Amino acid sequence: MTLRFLLVIIVCILLAIAESVLPFLVHFRVARVDLMLVVVLYLALHDDLMEGAALSAVAGYLADLTSATPAFLYTFLAVLTFVVLRTVGGGLKTEGGAQSAAVAFGAAVVHSLIASLVFGFFTGSGVHVETQALLWSALGTGLLAPLVFGILRRLDAGFLHAEGPAPRGIR
């Protein structure tokens, strides 16, 4: 395990704590901002296949720990999101800003819909989609995406300067 791998996990832990605590501090409990999804998006657009998939699984597992969903639902969805975005978004490169916000908003909408379908299927409770909560969650995720991208990009920049260009694995 490399130092960068460990630092990304620490960033994920801090973001998971912020994701679960901030709604209570600002008294906004209608929707949940999905910062772990933003980490998965960043990993899908910037990391090698194996390391990115492993870190996506860690981010998904942390999302599982901070939510009241069946075990490994978000782990599965995080790796699925990583693989789909790597496959479909091969030409998409974003370094943050409005483009990362737009990608995160769209991914949050699709992610929430798939999570609702999978949750309803496995629990037998049926599919319940609350449009207002879904849109608030996607909007919050999109607005915070440039911040999360900036944190992870800064972390990566520190390693590029220290080690030189990283050797590329399976892309």
The answer to which of 21-30, 32-41, 155-164 has the lowest mean pLDDT is: 155-164
CA distance 3 to 85: 25
The residue-averaged pLDDT of 19-25 equals: 85
Q: What is the pLDDT of residue 51?
A: 93
pLDDT band at 31 (very low <50, low <70, confident <90, very high): confident
The residue-averaged pLDDT of 28-32 equals: 77
Name residues whose C-beta falls within 8 Å of residue 46's C-beta, 6 or more positions apart in sequence.
52, 152, 156
The residue-averaged pLDDT of 47-64 equals: 93
CA distance 10 to 16: 10
> Which phi and psi angles does 67 have, rounded to 5°?
-130, 165
How does the average pLDDT of the chain come out, rounded?
Answer: 86
pLDDT band at 163 (very low <50, low <70, confident <90, very high): low
Domain 3-155 falls in which CATH fold? Answer: Arp2/3 complex 21 kDa subunit ARPC3 (1.10.1760)
CA distance 51 to 29: 33
The residue-averaged pLDDT of 34-62 equals: 93
Query: What are the pLDDT digits (tens) for 118-145?
Result: 888 877 777 778 888 899 999 999 999 9
CA distance 110 to 40: 14
CA distance 23 to 8: 23
pLDDT > 80? residue 40: yes
The residue-averaged pLDDT of 13-25 equals: 89
Q: What residue spans define the domains of the chain?
A: 3-155
Name residues whose C-beta falls within 8 Å of residue 30's C-beta, 6 or more positions apart in sequence.
132, 133, 136
> Which phi and psi angles does 32 have, rounded to 5°?
-115, 120
CA distance 47 to 94: 13
pLDDT > 90? residue 152: yes
pTM here is 0.86
